[in-house]
Amino acid sequence: PAVALLAKASLSAAMSEPAGAAPGMKEMHEKLMESVEYSQAVSTMSEIMAQAESEARDFVEQKAAELGEDGAFDAALMEAFVAFDSDDDGKLIGQEAAVLLEVSGRSLPADLQKELEDKDFECTFEEFVEIYARTTRNEDVQDEDEDSEF
């Protein structure tokens, strides 16, 4: 609290720059304001991310209670599929599927990666579930790499 008061006092003093301020004060004032704006933006983004994480956890817990663990997984996967279906046609193109798998923390085998890079690739949700099953968690791949080093 005392630091916050000090920061506010310093900010107030900086914002009320005297008319005859020394050269360089204006630049310092602008940098201070940019720094404050940046800090506020980071703080706001952190709050948004924390809220999104909380909402995602609540969603999964609710679906798990309603549908069981497998049902919750399917519901979450369907929610993600719909979010990445940019043209709402019920299908993902290769790039959409690849990005969804990547942000889901999945590693693609080389043959699947090549398949998704095909410009004519499309998949329905049911096909995407089969594709998802062909992937591994990034942590699993990292663990395998670490095991093979020894």
Q: Residue 137: what are its φ and ψ, rounded to 5°?
A: -65, 145
Confidence band, pLDDT 50/70/90 cuts, at residue 74: confident
Whether 11 maps to a domain, the answer reads no
Where in the sequence is the domain holding 28, given as residue range(s)? 23-67
**pLDDT, tens digit (0-9, with 9 covering 90-100), for 89-140:** 999 999 999 999 998 889 999 999 999 999 999 999 999 999 999 999 887 5
Give the pLDDT confidence of 4-35 residue by residue, as tens digits: 444 444 444 545 555 555 667 778 777 777 88
Model confidence, pTM: 0.52
**Residue 94, CA distances (Å) to 44, 60, 126, 140 in order:** 34, 26, 15, 23
The pLDDT value recorded for residue 117 is 93
- 130 and 91 together in one domain: yes
Asked whether residue 80 is domain-assigned, the answer is no
Q: Can you read off the two tokens belonging to residue 130?
A: 């089969």
Would you say residue 111 lies in a domain?
yes
100 and 150, same structural domain?
yes
Q: Is residue 12 part of a domain?
A: no
Shared domain for 96 and 141, answered yes or no, is yes
54 located within any domain: yes
Of 39, 67, 95, the position where a domain reaches its end is 67
